[in-house]
Each structure stands twice: as structure tokens, then as C-alpha cells.
């Protein structure tokens, strides 16, 4: 399990694109990068997962450079409802344990 480092908090205005970068310098060859979103008093929700290059789904994009020592979650045109804590995790495929770091608290401002 690679340790991840993220900014503690970010603010953004509605309608803007938000990029949250996560550092995972010690990522292992078989580690995948997964992002979760958590609203207050709710369980985390899976957003996106990737191994390398770019992954896109209906809610976000994930950019992973060739060295895989970092990754960037991109949220297009955020709304107030995107205010939440975003967690980045790096773990091996099939690994049981998920260890959550501090996460990034995103606040979307009207």
C-alpha cells in the first residue's frame, strides 16, 4: 500500500473545473489508483479508478502520468453538490485493505 498525500482543502466557484492532485511516490507496480467521494455523515462513494494514462467516466476524469507517482482527479464544472471530501488511494489489485489518508475537503462556492 502506497502512502498518498493530498491537499487538505480546496475552494472553487460553481461552474469551474477542479483538479485535485494526489502524490503517491512509492506506488508499487501492481497498485491501482482509486478515488472516493464522501459527503458528511455518509459512507464513501467510488468515483473512478485507473492504472495509467487517462480514465474518464460520467462524473470525472483521472490523469496518471507515465511515472505514476501522482494522479489528478478532474471534476468538470463543479456544482454546490460536489462539496465533499475526496480521498485518493493506491492499492494492489485484489488487496483487502483500504487505508484512507486525510483526503481533500472541496468546498464549492456559489
Contact footprint for other proteins (CB under 8 A): 34, 36, 41-46, 49, 87, 93-94, 96-103
Using the minimum distance from each CB to other proteins, give the nearer residue, 48 or 64: 48
Quote the distance between the C-alpha of residue 62 and its chain's center.
8
Question: CA torsion 84→27→92→37, rounded to 10°?
Answer: 0
By C-beta, is 59 or 77 nearer to other proteins? 59
Grid cell at residue 100 = 484512507
CB of 5 to other proteins, least distance (A): 13
Nearest distance in Å: CB 72, other proteins: 20
CA–CA separation, 56 and 48 (whole Å): 8
Measured in whole angstroms, how far is the alpha carbon of residue 13 from the centre of its chain?
19
Listed in sequence order, the DSSP H helices in the chain are none
Could you tell me the smallest distance in angstroms from the CB atom of residue 30 to other proteins? Answer: 12
Nearer to other proteins among residue 16 and residue 56 (C-beta): 56
CB of 94 to other proteins, least distance (A): 6
Cell of 7: 491537499
Between 94 and 110, CB nearer to other proteins: 94
Amino acid at each position: 500500500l502506497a502512502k498518498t498525500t493530498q491537499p487538505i482543502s480546496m475552494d472553487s466557484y460553481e461552474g469551474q473545473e477542479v483538479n485535485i492532485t494526489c502524490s503517491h511516490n512509492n506506488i508499487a507496480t501492481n497498485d491501482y489508483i482509486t478515488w472516493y467521494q464522501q459527503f458528511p455523515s455518509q459512507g464513501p462513494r467510488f468515483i473512478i479508478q485507473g492504472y495509467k494514462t487517462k480514465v474518464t467516466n460520467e462524473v470525472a476524469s483521472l490523469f496518471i502520468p507515465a511515472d505514476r507517482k501522482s494522479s489528478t482527479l478532474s471534476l468538470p464544472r463543479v456544482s454546490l453538490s460536489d462539496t465533499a471530501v475526496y480521498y485518493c488511494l493506491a492499492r494492489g489489485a485484489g488487496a483487502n485493505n483500504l487505508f484512507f489518508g486525510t483526503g481533500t475537503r472541496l468546498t464549492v462556492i456559489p
